[in-house]
Structure 1
Amino acid sequence: MKKKLISLAVAGALAVPMVASAQGTNVTLFGSVQAEYATVNKDGQSSQALIGDDTGRSRWGAHVTENLGGGLKAKAHVEYGFNTGSGALGVARERWVALANDSWGEVKFGRVQSPFKDFAGGMTIDPFAYTTLQASGSGGTMTASANGLGSGAQTFVNSAARYDSPKVEGFSFAGIIMPGDSNRLDPANVISPSGSFQGSNSNSGGEDGEWDFQVAGKYEAQVAGHNMGVFGGYSRDNISTRQRTNLGLNNNEHVWRGGAMWSFQNFKLSGQYERVSNAVGAATCSNAAALGNPGTGLGDTRGQCNSAMNLGGDGHLWFAGGQYDWGNTSVIAQGGMTDANATALAAKREVSSFTVGLIHNLSRRSSLFGGYQRAMVDDRNSLFRDSNTYSVGMRHNF
């Protein structure tokens, strides 16, 4: 009995500092683990398959909130992603600190997501987001990139400040601005010890003081059991001195987005349209957006850049999808089209795709998913080919 009392006393003494340091502070550990068997069969190439998660769903992290008084809160967020099919320890996802207040909103500083990804359309209207069946990049019907201005699964923005407003009468908006010298921050833009440039010419986040930005707004309402919403946004990627010199580009990239959502009982419908001018980084192909190396017949050719615009060119994309919830199972059908205009270096390209599949919830945290996707490309070459994608997987959130 005495030993039990001593053990309890020691445990209580050790717990006191932890409770004291946590007073007024809430720390949440979270994560998600996913694995899928996915195969991409491109016409004229060998089938490429994997068991793992290279779409960026698997992650773990910590979210901290501290009440400062007067309705003001301080927040911190650190998150890492990993692939269940490999031995890699993980890659950086979101990392930021923030100040928030219910009356005026939230301001984040650090490495964040763009509003085009998690606020207005993008991944928010795609039930197959973070799977090989997703519409972003692989599906050919939403812009996606590695630099943060698109809506790709592995899209994050370095050296950024983001503001999210509270919802007032159904209206809310978000904006992001990227100051700083991002050629020192973007892993794709490596400066060698000799000072020479090594890596890609794609860039976003304020290299050469560009001050790239993105803004988006939406309105949501409920009428007689119908949930309705409309959204829109504008993204600007200013070209850098390096892009002018190395790529011969002279115009900044502009992306306009608009879309809508509707749901009633078990039915959901959503869609969006994007117009792209002078594609630079957010709307051109990247390895992260393509689920790996886009491929030229060598190495990993699962990668798909069907949603990409031609570098320096214009074009548009549209996406539409429907979902019916039948008990714990969601039946999904979606698709769309990419139209990339010709440039001096690349031919015009049209890509249409459709996807059908199921998501079955085993519980509030665990689910199974699977489906089929067909992409049809008018301009067939080493990077863009007709393809069939099959996937079946499992996900657990904690």
Structure 2
Amino acid sequence: MSYRLSEDLEMLRRTVAKMAEARVAPRAAEIDEQDAYPWDLKELFAEQGLLGAGVPEAYGGTGVGLPAVCLIVEEIARVSASASLIVAAQELGLMPILVGGSEEQKQKYLPVLASGEQICAFGLTEPNAGSDAGSVKTRAVRQGDVYILNGQKCFITNGGIADVYTIFASTDPSKGLKGLSAFIVEKDYPGFSAGKKEKKMGIRGSQTTELILENCPVPAENLLGKEGDGFKIAMMTLDRTRPVIGAQAVGIAQGALDYAVNYARERVQFGKPIASFQGIQFMLADMVTRIEAARQLVYKAAFLIEEAVQNGTSPAEISRFSSMAKLFASDVAMQVTVDAVQVLGGYGYMREYPLERMMRDAKITQIYEGTNQIQRLVIARTLLD
């Protein structure tokens, strides 16, 4: 199966690309330098309806689906990975509600998240529970009509600025993964706070913090699904959002390639543009080939997932293609950005040029939403089982 963008999706791509060049690109270096969340761009994306692209119209979104979310993220990531994460993180944070929430929960939370009136975040990772979700120590104990949550989360994108968090906590530690449950936690609940803000290598315009829950009462009605559904909801979420990270990686790589190509045409050595040298040409040829292969895989995964919502495609196939898209595209982004820096030589290493930022940004795509080692495990297991 190959993908073919509809006329509406092509129009969306062009519109977002034009907006990104005009409004995001001029801010990209400043966002990285200031290490601050770009609220102005969040408002811009909200005004354009980009934060609700993955949310059905019935819940206040535009309902254009996962391929559209990937297109939006890719085009923004071409100029700023940090800015693209505004859209990607919103999709990740609201997805547990979309796939695991009751009708009442969806009606309450999704419209304000789709409109961008509120920001959301996904809270699974802990100091001792990254890839090993079964080691989550955050505890949720039922007391009447509330659950009391205690624990700590780390590396949470949008931590401290989000209004709504999907938090994973164990309701029965003796059951391991089967004892994990998911909750909707609002920022103003007593006992809920953000810890230190992390100082990161890349995506510096995205705020990443610890989350602390100290005897935090969460209404029982905020439990997503039923007790023990947490791991299933987390995996359903990641199956649907990993292609978005793949799209972010493709965007970063494409932006790096575009810059390297333009530079190679203009940079003169030995009396001619370096683009005329076979060594440079071969590098560029390999870069563009890898990017296009990654793009095809990302959008195949996105369209497959979109089809699955309608036709009930095998969950194993969804998991496999979702992980393959994220794995391959992020590895490509890392390789392409490193090679693009090499094309510029010493200039590529300087902060005056955007490629060192793109290289730093690319690295996280190999780590978050499941390290690439975990993606390989998922792919192998779905293949062998």
Report the TM range for the smaller structure's normalisation: under 0.3
- Kindly indicate which of the two structures has a greater share of residues assigned to helix: 2
Higher relative contact order (CA closer than 8 Å, sequence separation 6+): 2
Query: TM-score if structure 2 supplies the norm length?
Result: 0.26
Query: TM-score if structure 1 supplies the norm length?
Result: 0.26
